[in-house]
Structure 1
């Protein structure tokens, strides 16, 4: 099977965009992997998350690391130390004006300490042999893909950090890159779902079979360790596909019915909170110790 053309990829169905502004992509109404994760939390949460304004600082560090490593995305700018208050807060008139102006220009303003952390984290990625080998492969950065789900007709979208031939590459910041911790992150943040959505979009748009997702994790704090993994185990694929299918079907049903229920019913019986198996095991062990 041939790799996707690096000059002009052949589009079988949908759209393949390599220069779409970030704000334009996120404003598109098609269902994304992030939207699917919100849907699986609850349709109500998904609906509200599309209309409620979340704090913009929530993803500033992640965006900044992406910008320095990938060379695209919102540019970062350091807030001058002289504008900060004596305790380092962005509370002075000058600091607030600087931040407002930066955001109006589409930039991500960071305090000096945070800016230094971003530089060190991104440098750690760029000097990591495995990560650099992946990132230096010829390909496209910040690829936006749009296609229609053949089974439901639901419009889908995805934005891949790096597409090198048929290799999918995503950059993630993490508190801890030990294998056990990032395995938990894959499950908690639904990276298995994202990987399947991206692979499916590549297939729908270009007709090519994408390789398993490669994830580059970098710690957000010193010593900024890096770990590069791939989701090649078929179990990740099966799990991601099950989540994707459930989310697409739920979206189609909610759209058709015009109903977006929450995770808990507004009325009805108050349910007892289930006891986790690990908690029950701990209590049984404690009881045995006391006997």
Structure 2
């Protein structure tokens, strides 16, 4: 994973090697924050004030560290410290995990540790993924800039920036129909738009399309590389980004962070999905 000389910065900041905690504690608006905003400003505020359990992200962080060669190293929790059902319940086990985190490590149970190793090896063995990762570029790039229309401060952290944007994702299923759902459910199109805009603002260049390297969390750890270059993905992600930034600017201006249904408008009429009655028909037929 060779890295060329640092690019000339037009505006904002281009940072390599920024500590993860320092990046995530920065108050600038990120793609993750925009995703919460599009759910509701109330969710955005809650996510900023509440600390999520780190274990929720351990697998993804560990795969990133092993594949990209950067980030917190993973460490295997000794089986002897786990309870009979594999839980972290004893004071000794909790103390061991806390000490590992304090040293900047990602503690994983033995089965998860083995799965992360297999998944990482699967990514590096995939010819499409490896070709992308070996293209000269920059790893774990932190970008900071100011939105031109609103002045909102933005940030983004790209797994790999080469002649395109590259992001590594763990998932449960890499079949194309499942990945389409993942892109829409997790707003990866929005992330692509934010990263693309930040690269444009910071170094004045078009970074090319977003490539997503998906690897399954469980055996056989299949890998699929996809590209979000279709005009609909590009337009949709850009429109989501614009809506989220504008919403954030309004909330900051008025100091109001409402929930999705906090207004005095009509009660939502919840319509059934198209498959609902056909499913009932099949149920009656099977009785």
Correspondence 1:149 to 2:139:
no
Correspondence 1:232 to 2:209:
no
Q: How far apart are residue 186 of structure 1 and its match?
A: 0.3
Deviations 1:194-242 (A, max 9, x none): 0011011001000111110000000000100000010010110000011
Q: How far apart are residue 266 of structure 1 and its match?
A: 7.4
Correspondence 1:173 to 2:206:
no
Deviations 1:39-58 (A, max 9, x none): 00000000110001111110
Distance in 1 (alpha carbons) for counterparts of 2:136 and 2:218: 30
Distance in 1 (alpha carbons) for counterparts of 2:234 and 2:257: 28
Where does residue 208 of structure 1 map in the other structure? 205
Paired residues, what number?
A: 284
- RMSD over aligned CA atoms reads 1.9
Where does residue 30 of structure 2 map in the other structure? 32
Correspondence 1:242 to 2:225:
no
Distance in 1 (alpha carbons) for counterparts of 2:83 and 2:115: 20
Long gaps (5+) in structure 2: none
Stretch deviating more after TM superposition (73-82 or 37-46): 73-82
Distance in 2 (alpha carbons) for counterparts of 1:190 and 1:268: 27
Distance in 1 (alpha carbons) for counterparts of 2:118 and 2:69: 15
Distance in 2 (alpha carbons) for counterparts of 1:19 and 1:263: 37
Stretch deviating more after TM superposition (148-157 or 78-87): 78-87
- Tell me the TM-score normalized by structure 1: 0.93
Correspondence 1:134 to 2:132:
yes
Long gaps (5+) in structure 1: none
4+ residue segments displaced more than 6 Å: 287-290
Q: 1:259 to 1:83 in 2, by over 3 A?
A: same
Where does residue 99 of structure 1 map in the other structure? 97
Q: 1:93 to 1:167 in 2, by over 3 A?
A: same
Tell me which of 50, 53, 59 is aligned to 1:52. Answer: 50
Q: How far apart are residue 274 of structure 1 and its match?
A: 2.5
Distance in 1 (alpha carbons) for counterparts of 2:271 and 2:243: 23
Distance in 2 (alpha carbons) for counterparts of 1:8 and 1:194: 23
Q: 1:286 to 1:9 in 2, by over 3 A?
A: same
